[in-house]
Amino acid sequence: MYLKDKNKVSPFLAALYIILLSLFLHFSYVAALENSAKKIRVAIFPFNDMQAKSLDTGISSILKAGLSGYEFIDTVPVEIIKQEIYEIKPSSVWTKREGGADSAGIIWRIEPNVIEEVRKKVPADYSVYGDLKRFGKTWTVVVYIMKERETGIRKSFIINSSKEEEIPQGIIETSREIAEWLRGENVVSEAEEVMRKYSGGLYTHSAALEKIKNLSGYYSGSVPLHALLLELYLVRKDRYGEKVLAESLKIIDIYDPLNDDDTRYLLSRNIDPFETAADIYETRGDWENAISTRHSAEKIFPYSTERQMEMLGKDYYFYAISLEKNGDNAAAEENYGNAMFYLKSSSEYYQNAKDSYDILRKKRRSTN
């Protein structure tokens, strides 16, 4: 792959043999997606060897071997992909003179426009390609995934190693990550189809709810799946109040603010688990949890800032009232002050909080 000495076995190839053998053991532990879910067709392209200025099929072969062990994934043979690539106009032609002899070569670089051309003849739900690079002593493999009918990169994975022979193991581990990600994508696609049928009147609420619940069981760490489940519970919030709170807290627990895909999904469905949970706590008079939840939203889901400020002010105000009723004037005074910090001075609640704050402060000073 990288070594030019034909009398030596590349560390990459030596490791490759070991890795491919280990796949037989790996397949024994692969859990298949539910039988009802459609298979995902994945086209794995040769990788761009940036140093050799050629296409590398070693990486794609390992990825294909790793992904082929999952029942819900159907991989397109690399040979078919290569045949279609070579029918496309090459990216460039190079020539050089070395040792008194001229040499030349043709370069096909796998890029999104090439992926699109190949997909016209070889349909696939997802296409995998990438680059192999070397910076000093560090080898880097970047894996890109594109989705059908999309022109941008949907997901990427990076493998770094200071040793060439460690690359195959990194690729195998990445194939597992890719499979897990694809499984989530597949389940979410099926769940979204259920929601479309529910919206179109083809499923009753109870039928749609049951199907989404079953699907979420296959991929419990999926924010989109729990968002869809929460969306259905919210349709009948009076009946499913506890479920609404539980799903909201579940999403908050698994939500990663650094995961742009999850954030975009929540915003696209108009789902705010922090607002939903806080609203239920407020209905119950559980002001401490309501305040805590809204403060969390301030830090990691700041997409309704003005409303959060207003509601925090009100939560602190009502919390202060409850503390005052229980005779904890010191804590009440403090929380009236908190309420004033978040409320607009033009707000009715601000004036009420200020009046109560002034009364408690005056009472405290008179007793000191």
CATH code at 85?
Answer: 3.40.50.10070
pLDDT of residue 175: 94
* Contacts (Cβ under 8 Å, ≥6 apart) of 258: none
pLDDT for 105 equals 52
Residue 32 belongs to what domain range?
Answer: 11-181
- 108, 81 contact by CB (below 8 A): no
Predicted local distance difference test score (pLDDT) of residue 135: 87
Residue 131 lies in a domain: yes
Asked, for residue 106, whether it belongs to a domain, the answer is yes
Q: Using alpha carbons, list the distances in angstroms from residue 95 to 48, 105, 267.
A: 19, 6, 52
pLDDT in tens, the chain (368 residues): 433 333 444 555 555 554 554 544 444 434 434 344 578 999 999 999 887 777 888 899 999 999 988 989 999 988 899 888 888 766 554 455 565 555 545 667 888 988 998 999 999 999 999 999 988 888 999 999 999 988 889 899 999 988 888 888 999 999 999 998 998 888 898 999 999 999 999 999 999 999 999 998 878 889 999 999 999 999 999 999 999 999 999 999 999 999 888 999 999 999 999 999 999 999 999 999 999 999 999 999 988 888 999 999 999 999 999 999 999 999 999 999 999 999 999 999 999 999 999 999 999 888 86
How many structural domains comprise the chain?
1
199 domain-assigned: no
Please report which residue ranges of the chain form alpha helices under DSSP H. 11-27, 58-67, 78-85, 112-121, 167-199, 205-218, 223-235, 241-254, 260-268, 273-284, 287-300, 305-325, 329-342, 348-367
pLDDT of amino acid 164: 82
Residue 30 lies in a domain: yes
Residue 3: predicted pLDDT: 31
Confidence (pLDDT) at 305: 85
Asked if residue 251 is part of any domain, the answer here is no
Residue 216 forms part of a structural domain: no
The closest alpha carbon to 318, from 353, 344, 292, belongs to 353
To the nearest 10°, report the CA torsion of 71, 72, 78, 79: 70
Note the pLDDT of residue 12.
53
Beta bridge partners of 252: none
How many angstroms separate the CA atoms of 243 and 367, rounded?
48
- Quote the pTM value: 0.74
- For residue 89, the model assigns a pLDDT of 65
Degrees to nearest 5, angle at CA 164 with 64 and 159 = 55
Asked if residue 47 is part of any domain, the answer here is yes
pLDDT of residue 97: 54
Q: What is the pLDDT of residue 1?
A: 44
Residue 142 within any structural domain of the chain: yes
